[in-house]
Amino acid sequence: MAYRLMAADYDLTLTSSDRKVSAHTRETIRAVYAAGKFVTLASGRLGGSAEVARELFPGDVPLILGNGGLVQSCTTGETLSETLMDEPTALTMLRWCRRRASAAIVYGRSGIYTDRVNAASEMYAQRSSSTPLPLPSPEEVAHEGIYKILLLGLPLTVRRAAKKLHSAPPQPVDCFASSPEALEIVPTGINKAAGLARVAAILGIPREETIAIGDGENDISMLRWAGLGIAMANAPENVKAAADVIAPACDEDGAAWAMEKYLL
């Protein structure tokens, strides 16, 4: 199969464990574009992701952001597709998360917010390289539009919240853990697979000519959807089980290995 598009997770997939993209990976991405093919970002992040992508990708490509809730042009920042929580759902989930979380990170159309500044939100800021703003009134942010809410807490808190949402969701949402301390809450049907499907349609590339590569639970949907799903060796076992191929670990330039093997 001649693959033409790869959607890649960022942290611990394109980056090594020190959260940096190696020179080898950067060179390989440029070689993919020179061959007339595409690598795009498939990230749970919003803030700063477009800047990262513009530095990595030498051509315009739609980016998958907010775990698929937003598809955006890499070069212009134009919104190509978006799905927001409806206002009543957003307000209900904001209140629900604030009762359970050490901190809630809100990915809104107008910015990224936190409902409290503490160790959990400061750790998020450090890992994501983006400092959330203090949350104004929940009603105001819900009205402007919310892509997703990140519930931060102890692993037990996250597991209990996920179980609650899966068994008796208070609103039409989906959830998945992006780490043991973080639960992503998104509108029903929104995931990286939906984002990849949208990008493939924009570029006119059939599903069977797409590749997805990642290391996290939030990557499973796109690993299953893509023509070829690749999990990193540093991924948990449930992510590896969803993949067709296991790449070397992120500290061994596994993403570059996959590009060289399947796109070049």
**126-184 residue pLDDT tens:** 877 778 989 888 899 999 999 999 999 999 999 999 998 888 766 689 998 888 899 99
Residue 60 CA to residue 71 CA, distance in Å, equals: 13
Give the residue from 165, 187, 209 where a domain finishes.
187
Number of structural domains (the chain) is 2
Look up residue 30 and give its amino acid: R
pLDDT at 18 over 80: yes
* Same domain assignment for residues 45 and 91: no
CA-nearest of 144, 151, 160, 74 to 116 is: 151
Between 37 and 124, the higher pLDDT residue:
37
Tell me the two tokens of residue 130. Answer: 């983006």
| C-beta separation of 234 from 253 below 8 A | no
Q: What is the mean pLDDT of the chain?
A: 93
Q: Of 146, 164, 187, which residue sits at a domain end? A: 187
- Percent of the chain at pLDDT above 90? 77
pLDDT value of residue 170: 62
Same domain, 42 and 63: yes
Same domain flag for 93 and 176: yes
Range of the domain at 166: 87-187
Q: CATH number for the domain including 118? A: 3.30.1240.10
Same domain, 114 and 77: no
Same domain, 168 and 197: no
User: Exposure of 75 by Cβ count < 10 A (0-12 exposed, 13-18 middle, 19+ buried)?
Assistant: middle
Identify the pLDDT of residue 129: 73
CATH no. for residue 222? 3.40.50.1000
- Residue type for position 238: N
Please say if the pLDDT value at position 94 is more than 70: yes
Q: Phi and psi at residue 60, in whole multiples of 5°?
A: -75, 135
Same domain, 127 and 167: yes
For residue range 47-89, list pLDDT tens digits in order.
677 788 999 999 899 999 999 999 999 999 999 999 999 999 9
Phi and psi at residue 164, to the nearest 5°: -65, -45
CA-CA distance, 243 to 2, in Å (whole number)?
Answer: 18
Structure-block tokens of residue 71: 């598809």
